[in-house]
Amino acid sequence: MELQLQLRKQQGDFALELDLKVSGERIGIFGPSGSGKSTLVNLLAGLARPDAGQILLDGQPLFDSSNRINLLPHRRRIALVFQQHGLFPHLTVRKNLLYGYQRCPAAERRIELAEVAEVLEITDLMGQMPDTLSGGQSQRVALGRAILASPRLLLMDEPLSALDDDLRYRIIPYLNLVSERFRIPFVFISHSLVEMRLMADQVAVLEKGQLAGVVAPEELARQRMGQSASGYINLLELGMPEEQEGLLAFPWAGQELLLSGGAGTEPGTFELSSRDIILCKRHPDAISARNLLPCMVRSLFESGKKTGIELDCNGSSLVAEVVPAAAQELQITPGSTVWAAIKASAFRRL
């Protein structure tokens, strides 16, 4: 998918002025509150009209003020999914799903109900009413309804923010699977850098109605490390654990990581903040942290008032952060070796 826009939209005191070209199947829109993200979604969907400019989707104009083109929302073939699932309360799950399907002209239908239900694991819910569904089930049905309209683009305005963490991370694989299996590109808004890294190939960053840049999500996470309250979040894929001295030993990068008991006994993805990694130049003789990993420094980067340090732990990457003075004192330079100390309680399962 290629999305190209050059537009202006005034809303009261706020002006959105964008000149943007992004391509990819999974595009994120990131920015602080009030930066214009929802306004952009409304303009793309045709729910609001730019004052002037052009919006092209795969080269086709959805809006072009100089040629007086402004396709109606349903002619854009863009499906919307919002934070609140918006299911019809008086219709069963099946009828909610078929709503999207029946609205799509027969000749353009390329996605079938049974297949969508199978991918989203909602086949068993078909006869239920929306008020009997959990938040995650409702959001999967809303997604199914949007997909069954066989859209050219799925547009999602904070689709996961109404869900608790546990559900949010269970829905993300479905979104990725849907985009891949049905070849539907998506554009989504989120405040979460972790969501961006799990779901986007490219991120358009908005600030005060302007485009601040288009970057890879990993790059964005590093740029924001110093400003973010939680630092840079390392995402670690850990294998099947074994019990060890009252803790759980998870395989990772050819070694073991010890985690506290609450980590669960399945393999999975875990978060580890860059702030929870302590670096030591030499092997500390006595330390309470349960994990002590020998690492090589790959690179250093600056972010806000912090220095990020990308470590190579047996071939796997880990990002730690220190204040610049600590990096100098410890003489941390690319190629040098350090020990990374991590408490067993610092990991959080996604």
Q: 169 to each of 62, 137, 172, 224, 312, how far by Cα in Å?
A: 33, 13, 5, 21, 27
- Closest separation between CB of residue 32 and ligand ATP, Å? 7
For residue 243, count other CB atoms closer than 10 A to its CB: 10
Q: According to the binding rule CB under 6 A, does residue 88 interact with ligand ATP?
A: no
CA separation for the pair 300, 274 (Å, rounded)? 13
CA angle 201, 139, 30 (to 5 degrees): 35
Q: 185 to each of 142, 193, 201, 221, 285, how far by Cα in Å?
A: 17, 20, 11, 22, 52
Size of the site for ligand ATP (CB under 6 A): 11
Q: According to the binding rule CB under 6 A, does residue 31 interact with ligand ATP?
A: yes
Q: According to the binding rule CB under 6 A, does residue 36 interact with ligand ATP?
A: yes
Nearest to ligand ATP of 14, 88 (CB atom): 14
Which one among 19, 34, 124, 294 touches ligand ATP, defined by CB under 6 A?
Answer: 34
- Closest separation between CB of residue 82 and ligand ATP, Å? 11
- Closest separation between CB of residue 306 and ligand ATP, Å? 25
Nearest to ligand ATP of 161, 317 (CB atom): 161
Q: According to the binding rule CB under 6 A, does residue 28 interact with ligand ATP?
A: no
Residue linked to tokens 């030499």: 282
Q: 255 to each of 159, 291, 334, how far by Cα in Å?
A: 37, 10, 23
- Closest separation between CB of residue 222 and ligand ATP, Å? 22
Q: According to the binding rule CB under 6 A, does residue 159 interact with ligand ATP?
A: no
- Contact assessment for residue 227 and residue 311, using Cβ atoms and an 8 Å cutoff: no
Q: Which stretch binds ligand ATP (CB under 6 A): 28-36, 90-98, 166-174, 258-266?
A: 28-36
- Closest separation between CB of residue 58 and ligand ATP, Å? 24
Q: According to the binding rule CB under 6 A, does residue 76 interact with ligand ATP?
A: no
Q: According to the binding rule CB under 6 A, does residue 210 interact with ligand ATP?
A: no
Q: According to the binding rule CB under 6 A, does residue 12 interact with ligand ATP?
A: yes
Q: According to the binding rule CB under 6 A, does residue 37 interact with ligand ATP?
A: yes
Nearest to ligand ATP of 28, 130 (CB atom): 28
Q: According to the binding rule CB under 6 A, does residue 38 interact with ligand ATP?
A: yes
Nearest to ligand ATP of 10, 244 (CB atom): 10
- Closest separation between CB of residue 38 and ligand ATP, Å? 3
Nearest to ligand ATP of 208, 348 (CB atom): 208
Which one among 22, 26, 27, 35 touches ligand ATP, defined by CB under 6 A?
Answer: 35
Q: According to the binding rule CB under 6 A, does residue 190 interact with ligand ATP?
A: no
- Closest separation between CB of residue 188 and ligand ATP, Å? 12
Rg (CA), the chain: 23
Q: Which residues bind ligand ATP (CB under 6 A)?
A: 11-12, 14, 31, 33-39
